[in-house]
Amino acid sequence: MSDHVIDEPTEAPETPAIETLPLDAWHRGRGARMVEFAGYHMPIQYDGIMAEHLWVRESAGLFDVSHMGQLRIEGEGADAALEALLPGDIKGLGTNRIRYSLLLAEDGGILDDLMVTRLPGGDLYVVVNGATKYEDLGYLREHLPDDITINHMDEHALIAVQGPKAVDAVERLVPGVAELVFMTAGAFAWNGVALWVSRSGYTGEDGYEISVPADAVQGFADALANQPEVKPIGLGARDSLRLEAGLPLYGHDLDPETTPVAADLGFALSKRRREEGGFMGAERILDEREHGSALKRVGLIVEGRQPVREGASVVDAAGETIGRVTSGGFAPSVGQPIAMAYVPAALAVAGTHLSLSQRGKLHRAQIVPMPFVAHRYIRKGASK
Partner 1 sequence: MSRHYTPDHEWIDVDGDGATVGITDYAQGQLGDIVFVEVPDEGREVAKGGEAAVVESVKAASDVYAPVSGTVTQGNPALVDDPSLVNSDPEGEGWFFKLRLTHPSELEGLMDEAAYKEFVSGL
* Contact positions vs partner 1 (CB under 8 A): 1-8, 44-45, 48-51, 53, 236, 239-240, 305-307, 309, 329-330, 332, 337, 359
Q: Reduce the DSSP state of residue 233 to 3 states and report it.
A: coil
Residue 209 or 310 having the CB closest to partner 1: 310
State the minimum distance, in angstroms, from the CB of residue 30 to partner 1. 17
Q: Least distance from C-beta 379 to partner 1, angstroms?
A: 31
From the CB of 35, what's the least distance to partner 1, in Å? 10
Asked if residue 256 has a cis previous peptide bond (ω within 30° of 0), the answer is: no
Q: How far is the CB of 37 from partner 1 (least distance, A)?
A: 13
Nearer to partner 1, 131 or 210 (CB): 131
Distance in Å from the first CA to the final CA of the chain:
49
In the complex, the smallest distance separating the C-beta of residue 303 from partner 1, rounded to whole angstroms, is 12
As measured in angstroms, the least distance from the Cβ of 306 to partner 1 is 5
Closest to partner 1 by CB, 6 or 17: 6
Burial 119-154 (b: 16+ CB within 10 A, else e): beeebbbbbbbbbbbeebeebbeeebeeebebeebe
Query: CA-to-CA distance for 243 and 171, rounded, in angstroms?
Result: 28
Partners of 152 in beta bridges: 71
Q: Which is nearer to partner 1, 306 or 321 (CB)?
A: 306
Which is closer to partner 1, CB of 44 or CB of 254? 44
Cβ neighbors of 313 (< 8 A, separation 6 or more) are: 321, 323, 324, 325, 356, 357, 358
Q: How far is the CB of 253 from partner 1 (least distance, A)?
A: 17
**Nearest-angstrom CA–CA distance, 246 and 249:** 9
Q: Which residues pair with 303 in a beta bridge?
A: none
Phi, psi of 307 (to 5 degrees): -65, 140
Distance CA 32, CA 43 (A): 6
Choose between 44 and 169: whose C-beta lies nearer to partner 1. 44
Q: Which is nearer to partner 1, 175 or 311 (CB)?
A: 311
The helix (H) or strand (E) run that includes residue 313 is strand 313-315
The DSSP-derived string for 191-212 is: TTEEEEEES--SSSSSEEEEEE
Measuring CA to CA, which residue among 115, 152, 149 is closest to residue 133?
152
